[in-house]
Amino acid sequence: MRLDESMVETGKMSLENLTLAEARAGVVEGRVSAVRLAEEHYERIAVVDPEIHSYLALTRDRAMAQAERVDAAAKAGDPLGPLAGVPVGIKDVLTVRGVATTAGSKILEGYHPPYDATVVARLEAAGAVVLGKLNCDEFAMGSSNENSAYGPVKNPRALERVPGGSSGGSAAAVAAGMCVASLGTDTGGSIRQPAAFCGVVGVLPTYGRVSRYGLIAFASSLDRVGPFARSVEDAAVMLEVLAGPDEMDATCSHEAVGGYAAEAKKDVAGLRIGVPEEYFGEGLDPEIRAAIERALDGLRAAGCSIHKVSLPHTRYAVPTYYVIATAEASSNLSRFDGVRFGMRSNDAGTLSAMFRNTRDEGFGAEVKRRILLGTYVLSAGYYDAYYRKAQQVRALLTRDFVEAFAKVDAIVAPVTPTPAFKLGEKTDDPLQMYLEDIYSVAASLAGICGMSVPCGETKAGLPIGVQVLGKHFDEATMLRVGAAVEKQGLGNRA
């Protein structure tokens, strides 16, 4: 699609299908203004979002000022960044200076962070126009977006179903044409799973690839920031802007950043693709299995060789994850106490009552459940049995991947055992909800990179995602394989 003003005027522009590359080219070549593009998106948000509920806050003034800057630069013939005029949304666990940032929690109600997350600053420096903050599960804890204190997000592809979580708003907004790309975060699957449920591309970069300065922490040894987009190439462009060292985040790696967009276009012939048998066992929806097999057939036809690999500790990934993630969360979330930011309980007669009542009123049930579990596994007498044990199994899970990647260049597997489930279907059974993460948490624990690429839909019309996993810091190969799957035209927006 070639974007210009006349298309906007005649309503021919389909915001749901507009790619990042098309949007930027339209702005850079002067066919459409960044201001107009932002306005069109705000109009679409006003029409569509009352139903979907993906945005928690709109940053209209900031967006328009940025769009005007981009348009002025374009007019003056100044050099424009790789995201010039591209409308984006930001998951509400990332800080944007002066803009309400809630992490989907009541406890941060009224908080206006005094600084920008590094990833937000990088997007804007590249010319992106930040439209607003996107809904998510409270403190990124959830697999359905139903744990948001501000109400759930609906899946734009099936309104009675969940968009996935915890970055549900980030996936839904891209799927429904309410931004061209977005930022999410992934601690145990929170980018890949909603991307699969909503039929968009979602990338989990290697641990340490992208700065976390300005990310409200959930589990620090697992948390990562990554992009959602409508194509693999678009996600690669986003990643190129986001990746690289940051002096404000000592956990951010100095490994060289690849030319991801160019790498994603390279031929896949000769690549060795691993298929882990443990990801195709009982519980995998037959339609998803068939879709992944079709994607593998396509990769074979494109010249890849397909190899069986074994990741023998896979079934221990969910229990390992729910020890480590909750332990770290119980520590990280101790900072929410009504002293420095957010809300404070009115029932705060003593210091102790202030802490306890603020946390009781401010946190939702799932957050409390995880804090309790995390506190329990770290408490005296249980540390070795639970936390240390889980760290040991984490080493085994990581070794599984290192050994598999000695034989193959990338691994292909399902993202989720089922397509998007119905709102309310799993809210009464936390363990069932945790088992949703069965194919995503192992990569989170190992720190490798991964992505979800649309690869078809079920007979009922629900999107299916294929997961591509890559070696530590080898996003380039992962994106290449993802692009090859996309090229097969199995996706929803081929």
Residues with catalytic annotation? 91, 166, 190
112 part of the interface to other proteins, by CB under 8 A: yes
**Residue 486 corresponds to which tokens in the numbers above?**
């996309």
Cβ-contact 270, 303 below 8 angstroms: yes
Q: How far is the CB of 216 from other proteins (least distance, A)?
A: 13
Backbone angles phi, psi at 94, to 5 degrees: -110, 140
Q: Could you say which residues in the range 153-172 bind other proteins, by CB under 8 A?
A: none
Is the CB of 280 or the CB of 316 nearer to other proteins?
Answer: 316
Q: How far is the CB of 435 from other proteins (least distance, A)?
A: 8
319 part of the interface to other proteins, by CB under 8 A: yes
405 part of the interface to other proteins, by CB under 8 A: no
389 part of the interface to other proteins, by CB under 8 A: yes
Beta bridge pairs of residue 415: none
Is the CB of 197 or the CB of 401 nearer to other proteins?
Answer: 401
Q: Could you say which residues in the range 209-228 bind other proteins, by CB under 8 A?
A: 221
Q: How far is the CB of 430 from other proteins (least distance, A)?
A: 5
Is the CB of 82 or the CB of 312 nearer to other proteins?
Answer: 312
Q: How far is the CB of 2 from other proteins (least distance, A)?
A: 43
d(CA 35, CA 43): 12
Backbone angles phi, psi at 237, to 5 degrees: -65, -45
Q: Which of 85, 276, 447, 465 binds other proteins (CB under 8 A)?
A: 447
Residue 299 CB contacts under 8 Å (≥ 6 apart), including other chains: 268, 271, 273, 306, 412, 481, 484, 485
Q: How far is the CB of 175 from other proteins (least distance, A)?
A: 30
Question: Vertex 54, ends 50 and 58: CA angle to 5°?
Answer: 85
Is the CB of 3 or the CB of 408 nearer to other proteins?
Answer: 408
Is the CB of 80 or the CB of 100 nearer to other proteins?
Answer: 100
Tell me, residue by residue from 231 to 250, as one string, x for binding to other proteins by CB under 8 A and - for no binding. --------------x-x--x
Q: Which of 392, 424, 460, 489 binds other proteins (CB under 8 A)?
A: 392
369 part of the interface to other proteins, by CB under 8 A: yes
Is the CB of 7 or the CB of 343 nearer to other proteins?
Answer: 343
Q: Which of 115, 265, 280, 307 binds other proteins (CB under 8 A)?
A: 115
Q: How far is the CB of 161 from other proteins (least distance, A)?
A: 24
Q: Could you say which residues in the range 252-281 bind other proteins, by CB under 8 A?
A: 252-254
Tell me, residue by residue from 326 to 365, as one string, x for binding to other proteins by CB under 8 A and - for no binding. ----x---x--xxxxxxxx---xxxxxxxxxx-xx--x-x
Is the CB of 445 or the CB of 485 nearer to other proteins?
Answer: 445
Spatial CA neighbour of 71 closest among 11, 152, 127: 127
Calculate the CA 161 to chain-centre distance. 18
Q: Which of 64, 285, 302, 382 binds other proteins (CB under 8 A)?
A: 382
Residue 492: other Cβ atoms inside 10 A:
18
Q: How far is the CB of 47 from other proteins (least distance, A)?
A: 34
